Structure 1
Amino acid sequence: MSSPSGASLFTGFTRLCKGLAVVLVCGYIAVQIFPSVLTYVALIPARTIPFGWNLITAGYIEQTVQGVLSSTIGLLFIGKLLEPIWGSREFLKFIFIVNFLTSVCVFITAISLYYVTMQENYLYMPLSGFSGVLSGLLVGVKQIIPDQELSLLKIKAKWLPSIMLLVAIALSFFTIEPAAYLPILIFGTYIGWIYLRYFQRKQETRLKGDPSDEFAFSTFFPEFMRPVIDPIASIFDRMLCGRSEASNDARGYTVGSAPLPGSDPIEATRRRERGARALEERLATERLTAVGAKSKTDESDIDASENV
């Protein structure tokens, strides 16, 4: 007999995530049936001009079975958590921005590596995959439920992006072409953080970003490294905080010494509380479903024994 709790784990996926999962699967199948399509939809730096659309399409094309499986599963489960909190429009916007800017950064990196090393494989290597967006979505999980412990991994959610990058960097020493995936993961993580930290607009307050100390760049690193990371990160923080209203709002609106209602740090705390509450409600629903199914099973067993 199948486990009721296991069945509930694989339900509740959003319609948008299901649609994007279909796109990933269809893209993989198309590349396997028609390999020549890869030259038009993957990011090949030497062909990006005039085929500029590959800066968008490359993120939705997986070239391996493990790639399409991990991307599809990750999208469905992470999307089930983030999309109800962000909203479908903001969730899709985040995916588009992270995907596009990650491709732009990977393109610039590949061109730079070519001019440094003069190796043409950096120009003609087909780069693609949804892993950059997934790494950005993990940053969203870190923001929403940082202190939530994952029962399977026994680690807090705030360490997921850091562990993913650490594993990817470690594996790069044992793989033939680390440039095919490592820049995508690094830029996806960083761009996801940049967008959530400085530019994501909250519907309730119309303010931008998440300036809380718990979401600072140094929180991606162990505690003992933060005194070294913080001064470096503050340089980029001052550059990006030169933007319009978000720069001063980041430290909270004040009149004298009293913060005004709706200041950004308070909103960041509320958003984390909403994320934790949504996760708890989902887990409670799954437990109730499992208990209900178990009671029905027990009743059927009793009826069967009475009939015997």
Structure 2
Amino acid sequence: MMQDGHRFTRLSKVLAAVLLGLFLVTYFAPSSKEYLTLVPGRTLPCVWNLITGGLVCTNVVEVLVMIMALLLLARIIEPVYGSTEFLKLILVVDFAASTATFCIAYIIFLSAPDDRKGRTLYKEFSGFHGLLAALLVAVKQIMPDHVVILAGFLRLKAAHFPSVYVLASTVVIAALQSWHCLAFLYLGTYFAWLYLRFFQHQPETSIMGDPSEDFKFSSFFPAAAAGPIDAAAGVLGKVFRLRHDAHAEAKPLLPTAATGTLLGSNAVDANRRRERGAKALEERLEMKKIADAPVVESAAAAAASGLPHTGSGSRLA
């Protein structure tokens, strides 16, 4: 947890140190990329690259941007989720996206004749961009209605952060012809939504997932595409909803008369979580305003009280 409104969380600083450390290792020992990035042809026996692959940034600009984004987003997400759940989200999405990439690489290898030389199997998949997408999905869940003003005029709702990021990243990846980077980007976004939608444990109600309307899978796409996407996603929803029902029957948490409102209770919990996220953000903004107050205000206050002004200005801690 944060100690005050200004500091980054302890866990986020540890993760940032990991990102920086892995970058330095691959920078000064380039041969280590073969074992730290996800190389499907070397994953067995180097199974650790299913975790390290999503944490390795091989470009200095990339690692600096990713570290700053991690630190800033953790200040929003971790106070709401808690440190354990925040770390769990990162590890689950990292492992799931890497495992899916590993499987897709072998499917391509087995099905594409022109890939027999192992171009896909020995491609180095790496980058924190998939996990950054996952963190933006978490922000979308916590505070979907919060509006951020970019460049002084562009208004963007937090609910649109993941979609805008994925679209912009896809354009950059296409321009650089680095198509293999799409794997972590898309899979990280999808598995973050899948985990938060169906599997995240809610301590207030002891049930899992977030069935709220504004966190449907179609909410990541333009409204015109919502119908077909909801129809396709409905099949997956039914499968996991059966899992929820079985969990509720095995471990009832509400009185019998209230069992029919299980999903409603989960939606209420989601709203509470979003309220906590919005409150935490408001507190940080308020603390920033206090900390950034100009020295002239301190001088004016000192003059009004009849006390001498030292010139250093005082700030609230």
- TM class by smaller structure: 0.7 to 0.9
Counterpart residue number, 1:223: 223
Structure 1 residues 261, 229: closer, same or farther in 2, change over 3 A?
closer
Q: Which runs of 5+ in 2 are unaligned?
A: 312-317
Output aligned runs, 1:63-102, within 5 Å. 63-102=58-97
Contact 2:36 2:56 in 1 (8 A): yes
Amino acid at match of 1:109: I
Deviation of the 1:256 alpha carbon: 7.9
Deviation of the 1:123 alpha carbon: 1.1
Counterpart residue number, 2:137: 139
Structure 1 residues 261, 130: closer, same or farther in 2, change over 3 A?
closer
Counterpart residue number, 1:160: 161
Aligned counterpart for 1:272 among listed residues 260, 271, 274: 274
> TM (normalized to structure 2)?
0.84
CA distance in 2, matches of 1:261, 1:235: 17
Output aligned runs, 1:122-137, within 5 Å. 122-137=120-135
Structure 1 residues 247, 272: closer, same or farther in 2, change over 3 A?
farther
Counterpart residue number, 1:286: 288
- The answer on 1:241 being equivalent to 2:241 is yes
CA distance in 2, matches of 1:265, 1:100: 28
Structure 1 residues 225, 102: closer, same or farther in 2, change over 3 A?
same
CA distance in 1, matches of 2:120, 2:55: 20
Amino acid at match of 1:86: Y
Structure 1 residues 290, 256: closer, same or farther in 2, change over 3 A?
closer
Counterpart residue number, 1:171: 172
CA distance in 2, matches of 1:58, 1:260: 38
Contact 1:40 1:51 in 2 (8 A): yes
CA distance in 1, matches of 2:246, 2:86: 21
CA distance in 2, matches of 1:137, 1:247: 27
SS in 1 for 2:44: coil
Deviation of the 1:261 alpha carbon: 11
Structure 1 residues 246, 86: closer, same or farther in 2, change over 3 A?
farther
SS in 1 for 2:124: coil
What is the root-mean-square deviation of aligned Cα atoms in Å? 2.8
Provide Cα deviations, 1:86-111, integer angstroms capped at 9, x if missing partner: 11111111111111111101111222
Output aligned runs, 1:189-204, within 5 Å. 189-204=189-204
Provide Cα deviations, 1:97-136, integer angstroms capped at 9, x if missing partner: 1111111011112222223333222111111121111111
> TM (normalized to structure 1)?
0.87
Structure 1, 127-136 or 181-190: larger mean CA deviation = 127-136
Structure 1 residues 21, 257: closer, same or farther in 2, change over 3 A?
closer
CA distance in 1, matches of 2:269, 2:130: 27
- The answer on 1:29 being equivalent to 2:24 is yes
CA distance in 2, matches of 1:246, 1:14: 37
Q: Which runs of 5+ in 1 are unaligned?
A: 1-7
**Percent identical across equivalent pairs?**
38
Counterpart residue number, 1:3: none
CA distance in 2, matches of 1:293, 1:94: 42
Counterpart residue number, 1:19: 14
Deviation of the 1:294 alpha carbon: 5.2
CA distance in 1, matches of 2:109, 2:302: 68
Structure 1 residues 55, 30: closer, same or farther in 2, change over 3 A?
same
Q: How many residues align?
A: 294
CA distance in 1, matches of 2:147, 2:185: 23
Structure 1, 288-297 or 271-280: larger mean CA deviation = 288-297
Deviation of the 1:299 alpha carbon: 7.0
- The answer on 1:232 being equivalent to 2:208 is no
Deviation of the 1:271 alpha carbon: 1.3
Contact 1:205 1:262 in 2 (8 A): no
Contact 1:24 1:72 in 2 (8 A): yes
